[in-house]
């Protein structure tokens, strides 16, 4: 409201707006870094070449990054993966559909993984290549940090460095951008997306529209078309 009032004041000097915040304090989330497909490809490629970092090897890390990028899973969900996500946020459970290419990649990964750890059951999916124990977040983060620093990826969001969690943000934003560009009925699609990514509140999904300039631009263009008597699907 305040920036809009400032815009109106430039047109009409009589425009006023309270100097204090009449709506109370707000809790604004920092904008995420949205990876390009080229960046994700480079990260996965680099993960194939790094030496073991905190027990994360060149087998586990590429598969983990690829899974996060292609599904939007939280890192905690991926590290606790048991096909059915049992360690989802707030203790909820959900089934996550996978793209056929993701299924093929996971099949190849699991075949190689089971050859290294033949005495282990399928769960946990991601393991330390040194100890054979379940891979934890700290070890995965150290490997991630090493990879992204070596590639020199500079954050484009509000955080000082690119995060593993930005893969989830990128997945959600790419899906929204594709839907917006194709004229999909966004409100109906939002409910499906919110369920897929495991959001407890639908507003958490709608937040992405205002957090990424590309989405704001597409939404603005569609709104402008409707305001001129067009159709949101145009």
Domain boundaries of the chain, sorted by first residue: 33-219
H or E element in which residue 39 lies: helix 37-47
DSSP state of 185: -
- The Cα 21–Cα 129 span in angstroms is 53
Per-residue pLDDT band for 127 (boundaries 50, 70, 90) equals confident
The rounded distance, in Å, linking the Cα atoms of 111 and 201 is: 37
What pLDDT is attached to residue 227? 59
CA distance 69 to 123: 21
pTM of the model: 0.74
Per-residue model confidence as pLDDT tens digits over 152-172: 999 988 889 999 999 999 999
Confidence of residue 114 (pLDDT cuts 50, 70, 90): confident
Cis status, amide bond into 124, omega within 30 of 0: yes
More confident residue, 65 or 219: 65
Query: What interhelical angle do 166-182 and 202-211 show, nearest 10?
Result: 80
Q: What is the pLDDT of residue 234?
A: 41
Fold of 33-219: hpI Integrase; Chain A (1.10.443)
């Amino acid at each position: 409201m305040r920036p809009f009032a400032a815009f109106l004041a430039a047109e009409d000097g009589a425009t006023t707006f309270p100097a204090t915040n009449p709506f109370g304090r707000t809790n604004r989330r920092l904008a995420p870094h949205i990876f390009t497909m080229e960046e994700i490809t480079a990260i996965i490629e680099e993960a194939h070449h790094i030496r073991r970092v905190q027990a994360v090897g060149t087998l586990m890390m590429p598969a983990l990054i690829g899974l996060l990028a292609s599904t939007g899973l939280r890192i905690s969900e991926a590290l606790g993966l048991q096909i059915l996500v049992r360690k989802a946020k707030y203790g909820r459970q959900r089934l996550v559909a996978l793209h056929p290419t993701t299924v093929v990649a996971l099949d190849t990964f699991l075949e190689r993984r089971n050859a290294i750890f033949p005495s282990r059951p399928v769960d946990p999916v991601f393991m330390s290549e040194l100890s054979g124990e379940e891979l934890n977040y700290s070890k995965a983060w150290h490997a991630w940090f090493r990879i992204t620093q070596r590639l020199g990826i500079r954050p484009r969001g509000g955080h000082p460095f690119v995060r593993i969690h930005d893969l989830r943000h990128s997945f959600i934003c790419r899906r929204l951008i594709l839907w917006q560009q194709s004229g999909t009925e966004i409100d109906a699609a939002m409910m499906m997306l919110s369920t897929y990514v495991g959001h407890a509140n639908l507003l958490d999904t709608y937040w992405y529209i205002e957090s990424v300039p590309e989405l704001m631009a597409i939404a603005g263009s569609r709104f402008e078309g409707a305001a001129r008597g067009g159709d949101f699907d145009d």
